[in-house]
Structure 1
Amino acid sequence: MPVAAAAPQRRYPGVFIAFEGGDGAGKSTQAAALQQRLQAAGRTVLRTREPGGTPVGEKLRALVLEHGHGSIDPRTEALIFAASRAAHVHQVIRPALERGEVVICDRYMDSSIAYQGAGRGLGLAEVRSLNLWATEAMLPDVTVLLDVDPEQGRHRRTAQDAAEDRLESEPDDFHARIRGAFLELAAADPGHYLVLDAGADRDAITEAVSNRIEELLP
């Protein structure tokens, strides 16, 4: 069942952009490229990531993503991500938006909805509600979804024998459920999303993202 869309409300002078997608989609690369373009145009940009972005968030990131911390059940996992996000919004994202900055976030709420809601089977609506409460309904002005096939994503992130974290190492059917959830979220609110094929030319993706973001900027 599709999750009901809730349009973001521009409560602050800044602009909030989230990059979403499966592991190996190229989110960090495109977030950095957008930051470079905006800064070259004279914009003040804050680029951050989730989980993390704050001292407590980085500790929670290590706890939930690194191997060796024992078993973490799905509900605990969802709550850890939501706690990290609450701190991130309160301490970093909202203050930057209040200053009128452009905030670029590598992953945000949709990742929890997809990974814990669909991947772990907790329910998209339930995980969304948890995170809306944790963030006081802070939603991005636009979400860039880089759509990647799970097999392609695994090939990308294990190139040169790179190690996978606890979530990346889950089987492909887990990542397939995540991909489906991301696409479902985008289909429910198409005006809020820019969906791009992660396998397309890197520069073409950067250009498409930049063109979309320019529409939001004063």
Structure 2
Amino acid sequence: MSGKGLFVSFEGIDGSGKSTQARLLAEALRAEGRDVLLTREPGGSPGAEEIRALVLQGDPDRWSAETELLLFTAARRDHLERTIRPALAEGRVVICDRFADSSRMYQGRDGRRAQVDALHDLMIGIEPDVTLLIDMDPEAGLSRAKARATAEERFEDFGLPLQQAMRAGFLALSREFPARFRVIEGNRAMDTVAADVRAALEPVL
């Protein structure tokens, strides 16, 4: 699916620690001599980073659900063209903090999953080789996320019910795509989680 390289995504609710774990994995693999690209969504290319500011900042009701989905898909397409595909073609390990599974959850909520999948099939057409789901208690995750106090809190501002729904949804995705997903318990020490992340990837490295 991903050419010569290896495509790894991290998923999880806000505050799950996935961004930290993505960074730690990238550092560990680089220390082993691997050529690693660490990137993120929304973002990862100049155009997609501009869209990131539009979708992650402002009032929770800033966009309609349909407009939000189109914006996320546009950002992902630019990211794919300009960053992910070139890196995979060079044989690099691409580690992405969120990818299409986040859209299946966040933009696919309230019965819009079919729209997400249709746009994904039309405009993206690639899945990670491995997806690492950092599973976290929604209340603890939201508390962590809000403590960061950044401008990018639009989804956190939807509150605990959204985080609870997203956690249940991510776990359902892990059952839907068992060959691709690895579920890692995130309510533990950072280094313990990182060790399990590395062990989960061992078979494909």
Q: Return the TM-score normalized by structure 1.
A: 0.88
In the other structure, the counterpart of 2:160 is 172
In the other structure, the counterpart of 2:119 is 130
* Contact 2:6-2:92 within 8 A present in 1 as well: yes
SS at match of 2:107: helix
User: Percent same amino acid among aligned pairs?
Assistant: 42
In the other structure, the counterpart of 2:95 is 104
SS at match of 1:191: coil
Tell me the alpha carbon deviations over residues 112-151 of structure 1, each in whole angstroms, 9 at most, x when there is no partner: 0000112xx142232122123221x111000000112221
Q: Return the TM-score normalized by structure 2.
A: 0.94
Instruction: Show the 5 A alignment for 1:64-103.
Output: 64-67=55-58, 71-103=62-94
SS at match of 1:158: helix
* Contact 1:21-1:147 within 8 A present in 2 as well: yes
* Contact 1:75-1:122 within 8 A present in 2 as well: no
In the other structure, the counterpart of 2:18 is 27
Amino acid paired to 1:45: V
Higher mean displacement: 177-186 or 124-133: 124-133
Paired residue for 2:191, among 197, 203, 209?
A: 203
Q: Which runs of 5+ in 1 are unaligned?
A: 1-8
Deviation at 1:201, TM superposition (A): 2.2
Q: Which runs of 5+ in 2 are unaligned?
A: none
SS at match of 1:16: strand
Instruction: Show the 5 A alignment for 1:155-170.
Output: 155-159=143-147, 165-170=153-158
Aligned residues: 205
RMSD (Å) for aligned C-alpha atoms: 1.7
Deviation at 1:14, TM superposition (A): 0.3
* Contact 1:144-1:194 within 8 A present in 2 as well: yes
Closer, same or farther: CA 14–198 of 1 in aligned 2, 3 Å: same
